[in-house]
Chains A and B, each alone.
Chain A
Amino acid sequence: EPEVTQTPSHQVTQMGQEVILRCVPISNHLYFYWYRQILGQKVEFLVSFYNNEISEKSEIFDDQFSVERPDGSNFTLKIRSTKLEDSAMYFCASRDLPGQGVFFGQGTRLTVV
């Protein structure tokens, strides 16, 4: 069964460093997302991406964040200068069409020290 894959599964970084989280969405999907979940809390929307551009972003997604789809398969989230409060599980997700389910990857646990 097709699935969203994310790498790495766990990333530890020092405060102020840049990190890139990588995702391969399900191949025929058109809508891509990044969500995050701070330990024990609800899943929070960061950004949606459609037709090679950001379609919507949350207040969390400030200038430190960026997304890119460098080729036909990868979808990345970059955090330029990490802060302690960026520590969370980051989920990539994708969807085929409106009215279809959104499928999540296994997540990248980001720890900022």
Chain B
Amino acid sequence: QQPVQSPQAVILREGEDAVINCSSSKALYSVHWYRQKHGEAPVFLMILLKGGEQKGHEKISASFNEKKQQSSLYLTASQLSYSGTYFCGTDVHAGGTSYGKLTFGQGTILTVHP
């Protein structure tokens, strides 16, 4: 069952902030965040492991709430280069072994205008 992302689309002006959410109905081993520009491959941003840790990557950070099986991606002081579709990929911890199969959400389209 795929994770659910919200919102479906966000429009920002440069310098504004955004939050993208990812929810799963299943217990998760990890959450991966990717950005994909049109016609290109998904680019790995970061991975959140169960334990509720928050990670940061320049002005992009994320959190993982293990109890709620939710992750949020925070984009601060957005830049034009942040435009793209953001996907969360969830890894379900199955039987103590994770081979890393990711189930992706439907994506959130982020558009940053000057």
Contacts and interface: CB of A to CB of B under 8 A. Distances in A.
In this complex, the interface size class of chain B, counting residues with CB under 8 Å from chain A, is 20 to 34
B64 interface: no
Interface residues of A, number: 23
Nearest to A105: B41
A102 B105 contact: no
Interface string B47-71: 1010000000000000000000000
Interface stretch (B9-17, B76-84, B94-102): B94-102
A71 to B, nearest CB: 22
Nearest to A98: B98
Contact of B41 (A42, A56, A101, A106): A106
Nearest to B45: A101
Contact of B46 (A31, A101, A105): A101
A23 B11 CA distance: 36
